[in-house]
Amino acid sequence: MKALEVRIRKARKGDIDRIIDIERSWHHLSHWSIDSYYRLLNDDSFTSSFVAEIEGEKNYPNIVGFVIFHIAADVSEIYNIAVEAAHARSGIGNELMAAAVQESGRRKAHKVILEVRKSNNPAINFYLKFDFKITGERKNYYSNPIEDAYIMELEISD
């Protein structure tokens, strides 16, 4: 069987519809407005985002995942990462996270942090597999439904 060929590239404004489709397909994710995505994908010097593409119908590239993160001082924060359910567990999340960590290191961040719902075991396992550690928690951090968050961190070595 041919291995899934995944291409990671910087996100562009034209990708927003697909990014929103993927985000909305996961009901436990906080849903952001289109305006928020336009602001985040403005690619100012702080926010960065990548998409993962595979070859879709008629050889057109199809976006199947994205990561959005923000770098301030020496800390990079993952705002959101998601892979289309049909392509989950194919290593795409891993490639997206690797790109985000590499870009964070290139931009002099020393650690990557994120929050995750305490009930989101698949994501927690994914982060642990990537070597993130649970370093704290935030009470009632999420709404709809209200839930605590774990704070997870990954040190970036030089």
Ligand X SMILES: CC(C)(COP(=O)(O)OP(=O)(O)OC[C@H]1O[C@@H](n2cnc3c(N)ncnc32)[C@H](O)[C@@H]1OP(=O)(O)O)[C@@H](O)C(=O)NCCC(=O)NCCS
Binding footprint of ligand X on the chain (CB under 6 A): 26, 29, 81-83, 88-94, 116, 120, 122-123, 125-126, 129
Q: Could you tell me where the DSSP H helices lie in the chain?
A: 16-24, 34-40, 92-106, 121-129
Share in percent of the chain as helix, strand, coil (round to 5): 30, 40, 30
Least spacing, CB of residue 135 vs ligand X, in Å: 15
Tell how strand 75-83 and strand 111-117 pair up.
Answer: parallel
Q: Are 8 and 96 in contact (CB under 8 A)?
A: yes
CA 139 from chain centre, in angstroms, equals 22
CA atoms within 13 A on the CB side of 141: 15
| 88/156 with CB nearer ligand X | 88
Least spacing, CB of residue 87 vs ligand X, in Å: 7
| 51/81 with CB nearer ligand X | 81
| 51/82 with CB nearer ligand X | 82
| 10/89 with CB nearer ligand X | 89
Least spacing, CB of residue 80 vs ligand X, in Å: 6
Least spacing, CB of residue 150 vs ligand X, in Å: 9
> Which residue sits closest to ligand X, CB atoms considered?
93
For residue 145, which phi and psi values (nearest 5 degrees)? -90, 160
